[in-house]
Amino acid sequence: MNERERYCQTLTFGNPDRIPLQPGGPRESTLRAWHKQGLPDDVHWHKYLLNVLGIEAETPSTQRISLDVNFLMIPTFEEKVLEHRGGHYIVQDWMGNITEISDEYDYTYIRTAKDFVTRKWHSAPVKTREDWLREIAWRYDTKHPERFPKDFDERCQAAQNRDTVLSVTVPGVFWQLREWCGFENLCMMFLDDPDLVTEMIALWEQFVLDTLTPILDRVTPDYVQFNEDMAYKGHSMISPAMVRQFILPTWCKWANLLHQHSCPIICLDSDGYVAQLIPLWIEAGFNCTFPIEVAAGNDLVAYREKYGTAMAFLGGIDKRALAVGGSTMRQEVMRVAPVIQSGGYIPGCDHGVPPDISWPNFVEYSRLLAQLTGWL
């Protein structure tokens, strides 16, 4: 099987020849630690890992395709440092938020998860309907010339005969409104100004539908991921009843469009404890979720027993056990072995790989994972 076939067969409970080997990815601080622990400076960590394990890297016969469709606001806000004090920068980020970060970093670390960076939000651009109309709504024009790449048709055509996974990532409802309003302010808006929340959701719902449709008219992705991050340790950030009232109808429309175009894997990404949310995701039409953080109280084995083939998973292995290594690591990996065997699961670290997981421990964990997934 090629990469694409193996990935889709695994997450749709098919018959893959092997399970994709995806132990998890390091961030900058992790790589700095690993380079002191045996990983050479001049190699890519994953290629070197496969070499250490004695696994021959697979070379796709087709080039990996990115459709490069832009779901972000256009134009973005100007990124700039507003103040530097006490070892921290106060910055305006690309979303219009006023954010505080350590001066060990800069505002580019807010764009992407390059490292494990703690931030503090001082304010968000939307506090009122006037803010929403003046600062945000007009930035989501689906016809903007920068929304799709100039060679979009060519990219879609090239993806028709791919043997690699074609994926699209979309900001979800809660995720997107939180970026506009700020977390606390959004939670209060659900109660204090539900009409504004409904108005923002309606715009976002249609924007996503109108941006996905040109993609789906040309090519069907293998995997579409909606980012939500809507759970704490122990609970959903808003009640399941509130999710059902405000968010579920939009999820259903998005998932229905993807099902109409035979997209095989529709994934919902949320950190935190997701037990209250999984039934709603299944009802909406999602069939996959990650990262299933163990420290938040998620029990992957129990979820499989409860939901069977209605939900596939990625992640689910406790990063804390990987940091300890040895028998603790082995016990944790073997805990999820029955789920690996039952299908619909690509095992891996339950979020980005932190620097307290040493390179030797990561290699031994990956070796065990390779044995369980059929690579060794």
Helices (H), the chain: 3-11, 28-35, 45-53, 108-111, 129-131, 152-158, 173-181, 183-192, 194-216, 240-246, 248-260, 278-284, 300-307, 319-324, 326-335, 337-342, 359-372
Residues 224 and 361 in one domain: yes
Question: What confidence tier does 372 reach under pLDDT thresholds 50, 70, 90?
Answer: very high
| CB environment 23-45: b (16+ within 10 A), e (fewer) | bbebbebbbebbeeeebeeeeeb
Cα–Cα dist 208/147, whole Å: 12
Annotate 96-120 with DSSP letters as a single string: S-EEEEETTS-THHHHS-SS---EE
pLDDT digits (tens, 9 = 90+) for 38-53: 999 999 999 999 999 9
Question: What confidence tier does 316 reach under pLDDT thresholds 50, 70, 90?
Answer: very high
Residues 254 and 288 in one domain: yes
Residues 83 and 32 in one domain: no
Quick one: residue 298, left, alpha or beta (phi over 0 = left, psi -120 to 50 = alpha)?
beta
pLDDT digits (tens, 9 = 90+) for 125-168: 999 999 999 999 999 999 999 999 999 999 999 999 999 999 99
State the pLDDT at residue 156.
97
Residues 64 and 164 in one domain: yes
Strands 223-227 and 345-349, by their bridges, are unpaired
Question: What confidence tier does 112 reach under pLDDT thresholds 50, 70, 90?
Answer: confident
Contacts of 92 (CB under 8 A, 6+ apart): 77, 78, 79, 80, 82, 98, 99
State the pLDDT at residue 113.
84
Contacts of 249 (CB under 8 A, 6+ apart): none
Q: What is the mean pLDDT of the chain?
A: 97
Directed axis angle between helix 173-181 and helix 183-192, to 10°?
Answer: 100
pLDDT at position 59 over 90: no
Residues 186 and 100 in one domain: no
What CATH number should be reported for the domain holding residue 236? 3.20.20.210
Residues 55 and 147 in one domain: yes
Cα–Cα dist 30/35, whole Å: 9
Question: What confidence tier does 196 reach under pLDDT thresholds 50, 70, 90?
Answer: very high
Residues 154 and 179 in one domain: yes
SS3 (DSSP) at 167: strand
pLDDT at position 62 over 90: no
Domain end among 93, 124, 155? 124
Cα–Cα dist 25/308, whole Å: 28
Q: What percent of the chain has pLDDT over 70?
A: 100
Domain end among 56, 91, 124? 124
Residues 307 and 243 in one domain: yes
Residues 95 and 142 in one domain: no
SS3 (DSSP) at 313: strand
Residues 265 and 322 in one domain: yes
State the pLDDT at residue 111.
87
For the whole model, what pTM was predicted?
0.96
Strands 98-102 and 88-92, by their bridges, are antiparallel
pLDDT at position 332 over 90: yes
Report whether 123 contacts 186 (CB < 8 A). Answer: no
* DSSP assigned state of 349: E
Number of domains in the chain: 2
Q: What percent of the chain has pLDDT over 90?
A: 95
Q: Which of 1, 50, 10, 23 is nearest to 341 (CA)?
A: 10
Residues 106 and 120 in one domain: yes
Note down the domain range covering 108. Answer: 78-124
State the pLDDT at residue 53.
98
Residues 218 and 305 in one domain: yes
